[in-house]
Structure 1
Amino acid sequence: MSATIIFVVFCIIFCVLLIGVSMISKKWINDSSDFILAGREVSLLLNVMGVAAIGFAGTSIALNVGWTITYGIQGALGFGLIYACLGIMCYGGFFSKFIRRCGAQTLPEYLEMRYSPKVRKIVAWTTIIGLCGILANNIVSMAGVVSGYVGWPTWATITGVFLLMVIFAYLSGLWAITMTDFVQMIIGIIAVPLFAFLLMHKFGGADFFKAVYPNGDFWSQGFKGAILPVLSIKYPSFLTIAILFGAFLVWGNNYYWLRISSCRSERVAKLSYIIAGIVIVVIFYIPLTIIGLYAAGAYPELWAPVGKVASTAAFGVMAKLFPPALASFFLMGALAASVSTAATSMMGATSTATRDIYQRTINPKATPKQTLKASKIILVIIAAFTLVLCYFPGGPTYLFAFANAWLGPPAVLLLFGIFWRRFNATGAFWGVLSGMIVMALLTLTDLMKITTISAVTHVGVIGFAVTLVFSIIGTLIGKPKYYGEPDWTKEVSGGKRIDVKLDEQDVKILNLIRYGHGYMSDINDAMKLDGGITNASIEKLDQGGYIERMGLSRSDFYTFKITEKGESVLPPVSGIDREMVDAGLMPMYVSILKMTNEGPEKLTELVKQHGLNSLEVSSIITHLVRKGYVLEKGVWKRKLEITDVGKKMLDKFGAKATV
């Protein structure tokens, strides 16, 4: 049996496996929040695998192996460490608590909450372009690897992978991607280290490839003596890698935001990113670097600039050294890497188009079922647009950098928004607009050979600088929101409050805070409203002195408590009702405690009976977990277990249950 036929058999098995897993998770999709956000149910293990699957990308396989040949260990592993540490681990460590607590499902949604609807619209479109570019890059990277092994036309491989992704993502959205990421990570965890180990076993130690590198220095230079610059503003260099892949790729990227938003808790979000960063480096990047060293030693005359084969195709070429079945398994690892990251990119773009454009602009009154249908149509449209981007000039290296450049302005807005309270909508709007226009013009003129900016620096570096300058200037010229004024204090006693008229929505939100729903995420989910809408109510309540924020920056900015004035406008409570308020228990919450105590099937019946959507349920359960009344368990779907404290509350308030 030929190597090609064996590879095709493996591909069929791979496709059946992914689609089968997607079919299983399809039953978990009840509405658009399940499709886009997995109902905020993702566990620690699943998110570790999901985030690591993003890092275990077709780009990683192409660049880590290829750059080891071109720039040596320092260049390749430096790229990986910058992404894993500055990107993944820092993002999870510093931003996860804020992202999970603010409640925005997407990064553009947060930008409306913090700045204005205009900023949200601009960033939504740039985010879609950037994520489609990353999606295309991963497919192109993988196609190069596969073509290096079986010799198929690149267009055929690209088309086949797109069809696979669209099918399983269409079936059940983020749940399908989360579950298939788990499967693909298992394949990768076995395939990549095994590949590196077998190469070491086949060729021996460093003596095999040492002679290929000038002066035997395979650490700091490539096989033709190329050294990756450190502080050069020309791409690639360590500086531009840090800007594009360490910061832009992660901090300004909606699908990393989405992964945190989908987690069960702040703790799960933070730990999953830190663990995933370690897994990416140890399990994938180090073995891929080893594969690159042996590729340089085995075929020194094959790789460009000496030969005609791009070093980014080395993974597939080296797989030919092994029996067809084993080589096909290694190629499945490459395919898994590409599909996992590409599918997440596609869902990141889909969620932005759905949440920030369709729901906010085109059809704000769409029902959950209508939004679910629209999400699937948008997913197909995005896949079609990305198919065109796969033929972007310059190959994987420049396509990846082009895509990341569009994520730079949102990263700047995120950082300033969290830490600089005076930063305002004027600065955000002109910063992101100027950065986007400059990058678009430079990219277009570079491709048309009118300018040669790429010979001097990367377009993303210019875009970053322009965004930074115009953001600061705009902020100094424009007027900040009320909380950005120097004399505003978070305490009501500090004065500066104004008279406001509360509407029905404001009172409902105030009542949620009264019962202990002090996180913006709880309020967004419970109200089933867009963050831009609920944030307007929160700002009104804050300015009127009905609530207090716990701080004026970072996660405390989206943490609230009710004031005496706030209590005074709500219906008075006394006796057992007052005790329930103090315990943070509404009658529905007591019912959930009761059903949890009786069994999971009873809880499911209660949810269906009252027509609660997945995010409403998440809001209640997260609240009960924080109160210590229930424990969350389960690797796949959330499973609840009532605690002793919860049982005491049930004994005390059981008569108030609605069922």
Structure 2
Amino acid sequence: MRILDISIMILYFSVLMIVGVIGSKRAKTSDEFIVAGRNLGHFMYLSCLAAVILGGASTLGTAKLGYQFGISGIWLVVMIGLGIIAIGMFLTNKIFDLKVLTISEMLEKRYNSETRLISALVSVIYTFMLTVTQVIGMGTILHVLAGWNLTVSMIVGGGIVLFYTILGGMWSVTMTDVIQFVIMTIGIFLIMLPMSIFKAGGWSTLQENLPASHFELGNIGGGTIFQYFLLFTLGVVVGQDIWQRLFTARTKAISRNGTIGAGIYSVFYAIAISIIGMCAFIILPDLDDPQTAFTSIAMETLPAGLLGVVIASVVSALMSTASGTLLASSTLVVNDLIKKYIGPGMSERQFVKTSRITTLTIGVMTIIVSIWIQDILVALDVAYAILSGAVFFPIILGFFWKRVTANAAFYSILASMIVIIFGLFINGPSSTGPILYGLATSFVVITALTLLSPKNETLTEGDAAKDIKGKDVDMAN
């Protein structure tokens, strides 16, 4: 990278840290620190949700898949987008009225405290591993561009995110996400995509020189596409990082329209990044590591100044997701574990202080695990496999089937989580089997135990007879 590009990157990092300091002055209460005071308008809400959806795996991972499989590489992010659109169409009205901080808190209201505990543990694993993928991505970019040791690169990238997230919580994350959304949109759609196609010789040259299979939507394989549906479409529907953003909207209309808009944006993002990966295949046909396809073609294609903007856009995608998932992970730990079982009487000030300490602890652990794993798609597979396989049915059926009992939900999560973890060890993290086994186990257990329980158990067990507002009406109604 040239001096101009490095200067742009330093300026960008400096702005993020300044924003973190500004955000710290607004984050005085738990609602302000965790969900930005539930006061975001249309643009800020859409920007923040799109930014948290599209991170390292979405950018570097899709470019890698585009390099290897062509346009079929879109499916990873398209499935994420479809999950987000499904939330907007079917769940936002229900979610908006909950007025809780976490999915696990909602499950306690619907079922009981044991279900809250076990779902919190599952969701913490998911958000933690999702943060790991972003730190790996940031490390990969800095390693390729700056020539730093990969470990040092992960520490630097993860450290910056940790700094501004600790200071301002969701307010800092929101303000930085708006900046990051604008930069990633300009960098990907207005600079990187057209420049990559031009450098490759135009679209006609791509059609002439790429294998015909690179233009087939199913080239990646039906099994892989189905796996992405299980992992990402089902996973994002019940992801704490996504729900936490939904809680920040000012109105139901903002929540619904912004969520659908973010999902549609994701589909276009997937197409753009896949095409960039296809261009990389023409320009750099002998890459040793396809995971570096995006950064490598950027360095090969872009002049000084533009390179700095584009790399800042990719780092934006990574940092926005990392900060969101890091905050989601610490929120689960503080709200559903520490406050629930250790300090139920903690004040607002103590809650925010505890959240900052927890965010620091989880952030350091994230960097350590990132250095250990170093493979972005492996970490992503593990995160979504555990989440979608274990908690999808208890959450969705909790909304739409009022007979589901607390015991059924609890044992469904417990049994499916055990099955998934053993499946991941036996079949490997990229196998579809553990997810299918987990989903099947979850559905069978929750259905069987509900049908076998006395009919009046649904209305007497735990808090299932109350909705989130405390009325004597089942939430599923």
Scaled by the length of structure 2, what TM-score is found? 0.93
**Cross-structure match for 1:53:** 51
* The one of 342, 346, 349 aligned to 1:369: 349
Do the aligned partners of 1:187 and 1:332 also contact (CA within 8 Å) in 2? yes
The structure, 1 or 2, with the larger RCO (C-alpha pairs under 8 Å, 6+ apart) is 2
Shift of 1:36: 0.8
Q: Distance in 1 between matches of 2:138 and 2:455?
A: 46
CA pair 105-452 structure 1, distance change in 2 beyond 3 A = closer
Runs of 4+ deviating beyond 6 Å: 531-534, 536-539
CA pair 394-152 structure 1, distance change in 2 beyond 3 A = closer
**Cross-structure match for 1:112:** 108
Shift of 1:456: 5.7
* The one of 147, 171, 187 aligned to 2:143: 147
Shift of 1:253: 0.8
Alignment of 1:200-211 (within 5 A): 200-211=197-208
* The one of 15, 22, 25 aligned to 1:24: 22
**Cross-structure match for 1:312:** 291
Q: Distance in 1 between matches of 2:31 and 2:249?
A: 13
Do the aligned partners of 2:132 and 2:369 also contact (CA within 8 Å) in 1? yes
Unaligned runs of 5+ in 1: 303-307, 486-530, 543-548, 558-659
Task: Spell out, residue by residue over 1:366-412, the C-alpha distance to the aligned partner (whole angstroms, 9 max, x if none).
Answer: 11111111111111111122123214547111110101122122222
Q: Distance in 1 between matches of 2:383 and 2:420?
A: 11
1:412 is aligned to 2:398:
no
Shift of 1:122: 0.7
CA pair 460-146 structure 1, distance change in 2 beyond 3 A = farther
* The one of 296, 301, 306 aligned to 2:281: 296
1:342 is aligned to 2:328:
no
**Cross-structure match for 1:358:** 338
**Cross-structure match for 1:198:** 195
Question: RMSD of the alignment, in Å?
Answer: 2.4
Shift of 1:434: 0.8
**Cross-structure match for 1:238:** 225
CA pair 269-371 structure 1, distance change in 2 beyond 3 A = same
Task: Spell out, residue by residue over 1:267-326, the C-alpha distance to the aligned partner (whole angstroms, 9 max, x if none).
Answer: 1111110111222223x2222122111101112222xxxxx22x2211100011222332
Q: Distance in 2 between matches of 1:383 and 1:187?
A: 25
1:93 is aligned to 2:68:
no
Task: Spell out, residue by residue over 1:599-619, the C-alpha distance to the aligned partner (whole angstroms, 9 max, x if none).
Answer: xxxxxxxxxxxxxxxxxxxxx
* The one of 297, 311, 314 aligned to 1:331: 311
Q: Secondary structure of 1:105's partner?
A: coil
Task: Spell out, residue by residue over 1:440-494, the C-alpha distance to the aligned partner (whole angstroms, 9 max, x if none).
Answer: 2333xx3xxxx34558634333222222222222222334666669xxxxxxxxx
1:472 is aligned to 2:447:
yes
1:427 is aligned to 2:408:
yes
Identity of aligned residues (%): 23
Alignment of 1:136-175 (within 5 A): 136-175=132-171
* Structure (1 or 2) with the larger CA radius of gyration: 1
CA pair 204-125 structure 1, distance change in 2 beyond 3 A = same
Alignment of 1:373-452 (within 5 A): 373-391=353-371, 393=373, 395-408=375-388, 409-443=390-424, 446=425, 451-452=426-427
Q: Distance in 1 between matches of 2:49 and 2:42?
A: 10
CA pair 481-170 structure 1, distance change in 2 beyond 3 A = farther
Q: Distance in 2 between matches of 1:412 and 1:389?
A: 29
CA pair 533-160 structure 1, distance change in 2 beyond 3 A = farther
CA pair 458-341 structure 1, distance change in 2 beyond 3 A = farther
1:247 is aligned to 2:227:
no
Tell me which protein shows more helix as a share of its residues.
2
1:213 is aligned to 2:199:
no
Unaligned runs of 5+ in 2: none
CA pair 536-211 structure 1, distance change in 2 beyond 3 A = closer
* The one of 127, 130, 133 aligned to 2:129: 133
Alignment of 1:244-643 (within 5 A): 244-248=231-235, 250-282=236-268, 284-302=269-287, 308-309=288-289, 311-321=290-300, 322-391=302-371, 393=373, 395-408=375-388, 409-443=390-424, 446=425, 451-453=426-428, 457-479=432-454, 535=466, 542=472, 549=473, 554=476, 557=477
Q: Which amino acid aligns with 2:42?
A: L
Q: Distance in 2 between matches of 1:244 and 1:347?
A: 22
Do the aligned partners of 2:104 and 2:116 also contact (CA within 8 Å) in 1? yes
Q: Which amino acid aligns with 1:247?
A: L
Q: Which amino acid aligns with 2:100?
A: A
Q: Distance in 2 between matches of 1:537 and 1:24?
A: 33
